[in-house]
Structure 1
Amino acid sequence: MTTKTLKAASPARSASTKTSNPITLCIDIGGSGLKAMLVDAKGHPVCERQRVATPSIPTPRAVLKGLDALHAVIPADFDRVSVGFPGVVKKGVTYTAANLHPLWYGFPLEKELAKRWKKPVRLANDAAVQGYGAIKGDGVELAITLGTGLGSSLFTDGLLCPGLELGHHPWKKDREYEDYLGRRGLDKYGKKHWNKLLQEAIEQTAKLFNWDHLYLGGGNTKKIDFKPGKNIEIVSNEAGLLGGVALWREWK
């Protein structure tokens, strides 16, 4: 595990109390990178984003070592932790991680990080966290993350419909959306055809979900070469971190 990509973070204020402005350490676990940022109660960043590469063999032990490296360079204390994970999450436990490692099945990540860092932790699917960072909270909103795999989250008037895994739904020739639109598809079909497939998928999701607004996020949005249609937005990668505050909405 290398931490060469880490850089000195700009100063951030100290953690505040629960009743004033709790500071959240927001973590985004991806197939290619582990990212972290401190965010205030209104969802505004209070330090620069930190990043290390995801280990080449991303077992729980290896990824935790990388997260510890991120934690070590955070420039201030914080009150709580939000984590976006690329797979199915239930009650703080990870159950799938198609683009990480089979050992993640049944791993109590929320409990493990709370034990390591002595802070309360909340864990959710990474696409759900990114969706929270992008949505307006009005009508039916779908968020799709284009990265190593394909993440998805669906909201109705700001409320998450949990468990959606569009990336693993059969699409063309009984292969999954992720096979075409994840990194494997981009490498296999090339940028031009990948963009064509993405436009077809957008049309299909409009028919399937009747969404009012669609958000496209993730690192591979940089490969999009067509102009998004009406009610479609390309959102910053930071949405996957800034949305972590939403996991603590009832914090007083």
Structure 2
Amino acid sequence: MTQTGQLIQTLAVDIGGSGIKVMVLDHAGEPVSDRDRVDTPQPAKPDAIIAVILDLAQDKQFDRVSVGFPGVIKAGVTMTAANLDSDWIGFNLATTLSDLLGKPVRVINDADMQGLGAVVGQGVELVVTLGTGVGSALFLDGILIPNLELGHHEFRKGATYEEQLGRAALDAAGKKKWNDRLQKAIASLEHLFNYDTLYLGGGNTKFINFELPVNVKIVPNISGLLGGITLWREK
């Protein structure tokens, strides 16, 4: 609760290569606002994206902010940004947003935040997001192992998972070949991680046209926002 006794509300922000989404969550993680989305500005530089976030936040009531960002995050600083702009490298997003919004801000990798909203906390759980790029998050009994960045590791034929399964690859290769690659990726990841459950998220999951193994589940995109409440829970 806040000092006035009101229940805390969290502004969850999901920064993606193609869109920026925001939603306000109550203390239990339930949405109390609509999910608003704006296309990611191009070029996707810090000032342009922050301007979008400020605009989306201006008519909302919240006490703190959770941000999912597509790259490696260390202490609120964006260390990589493969699908945005190189100006993000070394940028202190948490402090910048906190100063501008006047609220405490926590920043985490976007796939990590989606995982926080999806996993059940049992065994080895792997999250892979299929969007503009390929994100990933790994959990052991509900504990996050941050900044996995599986998408930039080699997958097959000298190409990375992102080069084979990202949005550009889907557009170039077509849905049939993309689905064939995804099936190969699932088999490879199961041998690599021996996961109990694999969660697939991201906008491109709507193109999956084969029957998934019983321990592979598709999670809704809203998980990337709902994970924002978990980011503030004390361990």
TM-score range normalised by the length of the shorter chain: over 0.9
Which residue of the partner structure matches residue 185 of structure 1?
Answer: 169
Alignment partner of 2:133 out of 133, 149, 154:
149
SS of equivalent to 2:58 = helix
Could you tell me how far 1:171 is from its partner in structure 2? 1.5
Match of 2:100 in 1: 116
Unaligned runs of at least 5 residues, structure 1: 1-15
Alpha carbon RMSD of aligned pairs, Å? Answer: 1.3
CA contact (8 A) 2:115 2:127 kept: yes
Q: Which residue of 2 aligns with 1:64?
A: 50
The 5 Å alignment of 1:160-199 reads 160-199=144-183
1:246 to 224, 230, 233: 230
Task: Calculate the TM-score normalised by the size of structure 2.
Answer: 0.97
The 3-state SS of whatever aligns with 1:242 is helix
SS state at 1:55 partner: coil
Deviation per CA, 1:27-61, whole angstroms, max 9, x where unpaired? 00000100000011221111110111100210001
Shift of 1:20: 6.0
Taking every aligned residue pair, what percent have the same amino acid on both sides? 55
1:103 aligns to 2:87 (yes or no): yes
CA contact (8 A) 2:154 2:160 kept: yes
Answer 1 or 2: which has greater strand percent: 2
Q: SS of the residue aligned with 1:214? A: strand
Task: Write the distance in 2 (CA, Å) between the matches of 1:118 and 1:108.
Answer: 15
Aligned to 1:83: 67
Between Structure 1 and Structure 2, how many residues are aligned? 234
Matched, 1:35 2:21: yes
2:204 counterpart residue number: 220
Question: Match for 1:140 among 118, 124, 133?
Answer: 124
Q: Which amino acid aligns with 1:26?
A: A
**Displacement of 1:250:** 1.8
The TM-score, its normalising length taken from structure 1, stands at 0.90
Work out the CA distance in 2 between the residues paired with 1:242 and 1:173.
Answer: 36
| Partner deviation per Cα, 1:135-180 (whole Å, 9 max, x = no partner) | 0000000000000000000000000011201100011122111001
Given the alignment of the two structures, is residue 92 of structure 1 paired with residue 76 of structure 2, yes or no? yes
For 1:81 and 1:225, the matched residues in 2 are separated by: 36
Q: Which residue of 2 aligns with 1:11?
A: none
Cα deviation, residue 232, structure 1: 1.1
Describe the SS at the equivalent of 1:22: coil
For 1:12, the equivalent position in structure 2 comes to none
Separation in 2 of the partners of 1:242 and 1:50?
14
